[in-house]
Each structure stands twice: as C-alpha cells, then as structure tokens.
Amino acid sequence: MTAKPWYRHFWVWFILTPVIGSVIAGFVTLYLAGAPPSLVVDDFGQIAMAVELDQQRDKRAVELGVTARLQFDAQSAGSTPAVTVSLSGAAPDSLKLELIHPTLAQMDRQVILKRSDNLYTGTMPHADTRLYAMISDGAGNWRLTGVLEPRQEVLELKAGR
C-alpha cells in the first residue's frame, strides 16, 4: 500500500479550512477599514456650531410658546396636494416647512408656506415613508420639529418636545 500525498488527507483540510477562512476574512476587514467613510463629515467645528444654533432655535420657540398643527389634505384625482399649518404663539409672514428623510437626501422636501388669515398654506405631496418635519420662521429665529409617520394626515408640533 502506497502512502497518500498530504493534500489527499481529510484531517489536513479539516484543520486548514478555518485558518484559510480567517486569513481571507482578515484581508476583507483590512480592505473595508481602509475604504473611505461615506457618512462621516470632518468639519466638526461647523457641525458643533450648527447643533448649537439648532438648540438656540428650539429654546427660542419655547420662549415664544410656539405650537403648530400640520394638516395634509387628502389627494383626489387631478388635485394639487396641499398642506395647511395653523400656528399659535407667533405670526411671521411665511413659514419654511421641511420634510427630511432619515437617510436619502433626494427624498427631502421643502416648501415656503404663505400666510392667509391665520393659516399658512402651500403645495407639497404627502410621502409614504417616515420623515422628520421641521417648521421655522422665514428668518430662522425659531423652529419646531417632529416625526411624520407614513400616511399621517395631521401632525401636532410643540416647542420643547
């Protein structure tokens, strides 16, 4: 009986398979660690200033006692989708409404709402996904934020929440 070559033995491959897999996984990890990050922004000074500005705007809304009620009109065939905002605690000439998608910038929406009596109106299609809502005055002195769930037609926003 002749001896088999080393590569024909079961136990050699049984022992080498995890080792080879670990080496391959190590190279994949090294490659991923060296890839440029996609969501990290390296201008931390500007980010910190923006966060501070947002907190000041939220505090200003609390001081003013601003509240808002967003109403998305149900779409009917051939009609333009509309949004109506009733605001208390402040009365600017216009409002800026932003609907921000958590991850996809191309799904963000923004509209300037014009004042008519005590209501602010504009056209904006309603989304079928979760969005962050932000209302601010035209000058950006205060803001209200909230979460708009899919197919939610009314959203109440209060300062300090």
pLDDT in tens, 34-86: 877 665 555 566 666 666 666 888 888 888 888 999 888 866 555 667 888 88
Inside any domain, residue 100 = yes
Kindly state whether residue 11 falls inside one of the protein's structural domains. Answer: no
Could you give the number of structural domains in the chain? 1
Residue 57 lies in a domain: no
The tokens for 47 are 């980010």
Q: Is residue 49 part of a domain?
A: no
Q: What's the confidence (pLDDT) of residue 40?
A: 52
- 113-158 tens-digit pLDDT: 888 887 888 888 777 888 888 898 888 888 888 898 888 888 898 8
Name the residue range of residue 134's domain. Answer: 66-158
This prediction's pTM: 0.63
Q: Using an 8 Å Cβ cutoff, are 126 and 81 in contact?
A: yes
CATH label of the domain that carries residue 149:
2.60.40
Does 136 reside within a domain? yes
